[in-house]
Each structure stands twice: as structure tokens, then as C-alpha cells.
Amino acid sequence: MYGNGHLIRRTVINNGNEIPPLTPKMELKLIQMWLHGKSGASRRAYLTDVHHFLDFCQKRLDSIDLADIQNWDTFLAQKYAPSSRKRKLAAVKSLFSFAHQNKLLADNPGAALATPKTKDAISEKILTEDEWWMLLNTEPNRQHQLMLQLLYESRARVSEFCNLKWKDIREKADLSALVTLFGKGSKTRKVTITPHLWQALKGTKKNDTTGNDPIFLNLRHQAYSTVQVWRIVKNAGERVGIYGVSPHWIRHTGATHQLLNGSPIHLQQQELGHSGLDITSRYLHILPGEYGARYCKVQLPDS
């Protein structure tokens, strides 16, 4: 995968400490350490990005400099969408930062290169309440309809959704239900679904169902894969003439509708699993005019 001319290196001095040149085995171990603790999906994506970068450079990590990363960035700008370019650069910068901070590399060549700014396209992935009603009510398959509504109310990521089991849902005193999601960054969070949805879900539960059984079973009596859920959502959108709808669209849509209907933003932050309010606040800029004035209760007197 790498050029043989870069296998022999001198020892580098970093703050008086010697850092030996990386061997192929050491480089692999470094990458594994960097990936430790990340989710399965993140590990796969980051590993693909780093391998792509190293294949492009034909060097080992301790021989790469800023010019190599800039050359790769120029290539990415020509071949990839801005969001993909940004993700790939962020992965490589993260790897170099990790290696440098842990004194596994003497320098951090990625520090001088800023990741590109990309268009915030979240507003393009939000359905109106009328569109959502139409999408939901034209779904002919009752189980798929329940899946769509659970995605919408829970605002779960598709991987979290596919991992849901009956033991992850607990009924509350008001007959709504608390759903436990295990998701990104190995974090657990809880969200609430409406009594109407919970009662409908309970109606599908068989007598011999155990807590470890998936909530939804496909035709092979197995949990749905992420690909199958994507296909169900995509087909539901196309049925009403909306193309490109994905499970993440439904996550954005559910959060936006709850905010529009008065949900506190800090609650959405917690239930979406966002690290900060700055991320959740992006939803507030999606529909101009929907916030602020609509919540003013004191009105101007009639003339």
C-alpha cells in the first residue's frame, strides 16, 4: 500500500525525547489506538478515509508533511462533494492530532490546514407537517407505518433504531413510553413516544415475545438492517413525490416539528444526543418567522 522508499527513517527529536521512526506494524497500532472507543460505523468510515489518504500519498505517517495534505485536499475538491471532502480531511487531521498529542509523531502537519466550510443543507431535509402526514398516511404497510412514526417520534439514528428491542421500551404512568437508545459515541439516552404510538406498538407484540426480541421483524423474522430501513423510508417519500428522503430526514423533521410546537430546545438537545446547544440551534433557523413573535402573548390594543 505504501512506497518502499519511505520505510527507513531517522529518529526525530521532540522536546528532548527521541521518537523512533514508524514501522508498518507501529503505524497500524497507532491507527487502531486512534479508532478505539469510536462506534462501528465511525471506525469503518474513518479507516476508509485514512487508507485513501495514505494510498494517495504513498508515504507513512511520519514522512507526511503539510504539502502532502494540501495536495490530497486539492484532489478531494475536484472529485468529491464538499461534505465528503470535509469529512475526509477532518478524519486525517484528527489522526495526526491524536498521534502528536500522544507523542507518537513529532509534528502535526494537519494543524495548519483548516477544514472547508460547507453549506448547511439541513433545511433541505425537513418535511412540513402536511408532507409528513401525507407520507405517513399513504404508506400501505401497517408495520412500515409504525416504523416511520417511531423514527419520527424518537428521532433515533437509523443504527439506533435497528438495534431497538422490546426491553428498551418502558410504559409510563400516562401510558406514553420511555425509549432507551444506545447510539453514537456509545452514549445512552432516553426519549418519550406518545401513548397513541405505544399502544399501537404493543398491539403487535406476540405472547411468546421476549424482551430481547427486536421490535420489528422482517420477512425472515430477523431485525431490519439499516439498508432495509433506508429503502422503506425512501419508497415512502417517493410514493408522495418527495425524492431522497432518508431516516436522517425523519430525525431532522421530528425534532423541528417538536420545536415548532413548543418543545424546549435543551430537551431536544438531550433527546437528540447533541453535544451542545449550538448544534441543536441550527433547527431554529430553518423556518424563518416561526419563532419569537408567535409566542408573544401580550397583544397591541385595537385602535
169-192: average pLDDT: 88
- What are the residue boundaries of the structural domains of the chain, listed by start? 4-112, 122-288
pLDDT of residue 267: 79
How does residue 278 score in pLDDT terms, banded at 50, 70 and 90? low
pLDDT tens string 223-275 = 999 999 999 999 999 999 998 899 988 988 888 888 888 877 777 787 777 66
Q: In what order do the strands lie in the sheet with 177-183?
A: 169-171, 177-183, 187-193
**Which one, of 114, 44, 109, lies nearest residue 86 by Cα?**
114
CA dist., res. 109 & res. 97, Å (int): 9
pLDDT > 70? residue 282: no
pLDDT of residue 302: 57
pLDDT of residue 119: 56
83-87: average pLDDT: 86
pLDDT of residue 8: 34
Q: Which amino acid is at 136?
A: L
> What pTM was estimated for this model as a whole?
0.62
Question: What CATH class is the domain 4-112?
Answer: mainly alpha
Establish how many alpha carbons lie within 13 A of residue 12's alpha carbon, considering only the half-sphere containing its beta carbon.
Answer: 14
CATH architecture designation of domain 122-288: Orthogonal Bundle (1.10)
Q: What angle do CA 81, 279, 177 make, to 5 degrees?
A: 115
pLDDT > 50? residue 303: no
